[in-house]
Amino acid sequence: MSYRKKQVTYSPLYGIIATFVIPMILAHTLFYSGYGRKHPNSRGTLITPPVVIDQQQHQFWQIASLSPSDHDMTALETLEKRWIALGKDKKRVHLTIFKNKKNQIAMMKNWETKQLEQETHQKLETIKSKHNKTCKLFIIDPESRAILCYDQLNALRDIDLDLRKLLKSSRI
């Protein structure tokens, strides 16, 4: 009787090794080639540490503007149209204009006006964006902290994109 020798095949072993090794090599290559660094997470400037506006927590996000000039009024009107375009999410976002004691602001339809303490107003006025310009618009979270700021070089679309990301990940 002649016995046939069993042929040993290593192809399943090579397949398993390739399944685990190739993704690691690909991830390493992408990471060190700078792939993720070219795509920023937010369009605005992250404020670190966040500026606390007041101690009261809210059930809504806020788009806030520091006391605007006449030139900024057209930008605020455009921003208000973008707020209306949020649809059902516009209930979760309020439009706010911060004023200090010195200036008087003409009332706008959907914008609420809040009086800020002088110290907080000065902190917000001194914040610089990543373009090294002073920030005029802010996104404020439900815990009343200014977390993102925008200057004149940011398009209003940037605020809209960042706010939609925040609303998608927020429970409030």
Closest CA to 116 of 51, 45, 50: 51
Would you say residue 113 lies in a domain? yes
* pTM beyond 0.75: no
Average pLDDT over all residues of the chain: 84
Would you say residue 5 lies in a domain? no
Average of pLDDT values for 3-13?
84
On whether the CB atoms of residues 52 and 116 are closer than 8 A, the answer is no
The range of the structural domain enclosing residue 153 comes to 45-169
Would you say residue 141 lies in a domain? yes
Would you say residue 121 lies in a domain? yes
Categorize the per-residue pLDDT at 21 as very low, low, confident or very high, splitting at 50, 70 and 90: very high
Residues 137, 139, 142, 147: is their CA dihedral positive or negative? Answer: negative
Residue 11 pLDDT: 92
Would you say residue 16 lies in a domain? no
Q: Considering the chain, what percentage of its residues have pLDDT values greater than 70? A: 88
Whether the pLDDT of residue 161 is over 80: the answer is yes
Would you say residue 40 lies in a domain? no
Domain with 122 in it: what CATH number?
A: 3.40.30.10
